[in-house]
Structure 1
Amino acid sequence: MARYFWALFSFGSLCLLSLMVGVIDLTADVKAWQVLVTSRLPRTIAVVITGAGLAICGAIMQMLVRNRFVEPMTAGTGQGTALGILLVTLFVPQASLFVKMALASVTALCTSIGFLAIVRRLPPTQPLLVPLVGIIYGGIIGAGVTFVAYQADLLQYLDVWMNGEFSGVLQGRYELLWIAAVVTTISYFAADQFAIVCMGRVASVNLGLNYERVVLIGLVVVSVVTSLTVVTVGMIPFIGLVVPNIVSRLYGDNLRATLPYIAIIGASFVLISDILGRVLHYPYEIPVGTVFGIIGTLVFLWLLYAPRRHGA
């Protein structure tokens, strides 16, 4: 309980700090309230939803694939979202943001199913093959998307969508993320079923679980949240990989008990990255995807080499 209190306290402090950091001094500007409501508050909410959603999606995907070294951005889901955005841009350029999100979710779901189908054919005695195949699989999709975008002179347009940053988040331009928040919250009630799926198909069926349905639900959750995040703020790597592994080391593998920690720590990491991105090169900004890419790499190396200890 003490750990949970300190996690919430740290998270709340980061939220307050995020509201105060920026080019405009809220204590001196007469329009401070307008800046707070129009820009700072939506940005902080978007950061929190993105961090928590991607971290939980990483945990769910790791349960479905039964491997700790995968996440949506390295398993083809993020690249599938990019494919959907590209298809909409090519064939329905005047489509609304909701249509882009819908098609991006469909393509993300299809690429996620493809990755799962490939993983099932890999030998279970070689767990490191799963992330390697995921990187190759996502790389092939990403290369195809880049090639088509280059041919259509859309590389710069695609880079805007893919580069994860929150500088463009304003009131009226982030509200789709509330759908991701709702979907992520609903996934909490299926946490026990995702944990059973991690035991394998045979064990799940023997325990009376509808294995295929739970896997499909998990893939839909991952696809919807990932596509909404990419469409709104761009692609941010490593969150779904790093955060669930940190929580697993600290608090154990009870998914229902650890999901709140995963959400809080995921949101806190993205808040830290966003704040650093705003102050390191002030008054300019470094994209969150770049900052967290560095932090995620360092933490991932720690996960690989540090001895495993948790209080489970």
Structure 2
Amino acid sequence: MVSTDIASPPRNAGRLFDVKLLIGVLVVAVLLVISLFTGVYDVTGAEDGAQMFQITRVPRTIALVLAGASMAMAGLVMQLLTQNRFVEPTTTGTTEWAGLGLLLVMILVPQPSLSLRMAGAVLAAFVGTMVFFAFLRRVALKSSLIVPIVGIMLGAVVGALSTYLALATNSLQIVGVWFAGSFTSVMRGQYEMLWIVAVVGVIVFIVADRLTIAGLGEEVATNVGVNYNRIILLGTVLIAVTTGVVTVVVGNLPFLGLIVPNIVSMVRGDDLRSNLPWVCLLGIAIVTVCDIIGRTIIMPFEVPVSLILGVVGAVVFVLLLLRQRRRG
């Protein structure tokens, strides 16, 4: 793995809850309330407004919380395990693998259930993440900047394969829906599987200390009695489950796992456990803001949240690369 000072001394280690975190929670709560009442349909004046509010607005807002927090957290775990600030499911090909798994299930099984599609996406995401991790362990890369480029190249190959299969089987629409990550179709009865990522978040918090030790490298982890390979495997499973579930329910949310952990790390240092609440909050806030913009910028139509998030994420990604280059 390539070390890029990902384990710098934490500045706020051990302080999980403070006044600033409470303020952050209140700000995010305000954004979520705005999200609940943003949209073309008048949920306050229409006769069936209350019913539509329960069917569409509440599930969508819950999905924003779960997807935003979980993908930001997946990026944090991946950066820690690879010791590289520039990796996350988008820059390692994990999301493309999840899309390939979803496509294969749709091709092989007529009208598959949501759980079956999710299983295919999770399994493919796990395989893809393991391939990327195996590549990093066997190839010595002198520059940390090369790592995300390699991941993006691997993802492009997998994406090209998905496009070919979609064209060959008349399933191109499936790829289009996956690529355009959006919360438009999220409603009651179609988002509940997202609660799985909440369980993943609890597991990450429980094993945070072991993940932090594993992020220091195999030699350090072994010396303190941590099974390095087992923790890497657990982290990979957690990343794959998160990416697969979010991909099936929402679609692709590019660069979210890159933006959030880097911003939090620059402010608070690199302690995983104390940073988790902040990473989740900032992930929710960014996704919610992008979704609100997408719903209002060309109302009554919607812009996919992945489009706005991709533009913002690409700019931040370039700025981080330039910052790292200046630091040598």
8 A contact 1:205–1:211 mirrored in 2: yes
8 A contact 1:184–1:225 mirrored in 2: no
8 A contact 1:15–1:44 mirrored in 2: yes
Aligned to 2:160: 143
2:214 pairs with 182, 197, 202, which one?
A: 197
Q: CA deviation at 1:128?
A: 1.4
Establish whether residue 45 from structure 1 lines up as the match of residue 69 from structure 2. no
Distance in structure 1 (CA, Å) of the matches to 2:186 and 2:275: 29
Aligned to 2:49: 32
Aligned to 1:2: 19
Secondary structure in 2 aligned to 1:73? coil
Establish whether residue 188 from structure 1 lines up as the match of residue 205 from structure 2. yes
Establish whether residue 282 from structure 1 lines up as the match of residue 287 from structure 2. no
Q: CA deviation at 1:162?
A: 2.7
Establish whether residue 90 from structure 1 lines up as the match of residue 144 from structure 2. no
Establish whether residue 223 from structure 1 lines up as the match of residue 275 from structure 2. no
Q: CA deviation at 1:304?
A: 4.3
Aligned to 1:123: 140
Distance in structure 2 (CA, Å) of the matches to 1:191 and 1:64: 11
Secondary structure in 1 aligned to 2:138? coil
The alignment covers a number of residue pairs equal to 307
Secondary structure in 1 aligned to 2:84? coil
Distance in structure 1 (CA, Å) of the matches to 2:154 and 2:35: 36
Q: Which runs of 5+ in 2 are unaligned?
A: 1-17
Aligned to 1:272: 289
Secondary structure in 2 aligned to 1:120? helix
TM-score by length of 1: 0.95
- Code of the residue aligned with 1:22 in structure 2: it is G
Q: Which runs of 5+ in 1 are unaligned?
A: 308-312
Secondary structure in 1 aligned to 2:90? helix
Distance in structure 2 (CA, Å) of the matches to 1:303 and 1:51: 21
Q: CA deviation at 1:305?
A: 5.0
Q: CA deviation at 1:3?
A: 1.7
Establish whether residue 298 from structure 1 lines up as the match of residue 302 from structure 2. no
Aligned to 1:310: none
1:156 pairs with 167, 170, 173, which one?
A: 173
Deviations 1:222-273 (A, max 9, x none): 0001000000011110000110000001111111000110000001100000
Distance in structure 2 (CA, Å) of the matches to 1:46 and 1:111: 25
Q: CA deviation at 1:111?
A: 0.8
Identity %: 41
Distance in structure 2 (CA, Å) of the matches to 1:241 and 1:283: 31
- Code of the residue aligned with 2:29 in structure 1: it is G
1:57 pairs with 44, 56, 74, which one?
A: 74
Distance in structure 1 (CA, Å) of the matches to 2:167 and 2:108: 16
8 A contact 1:55–1:266 mirrored in 2: yes
TM-score by length of 2: 0.91
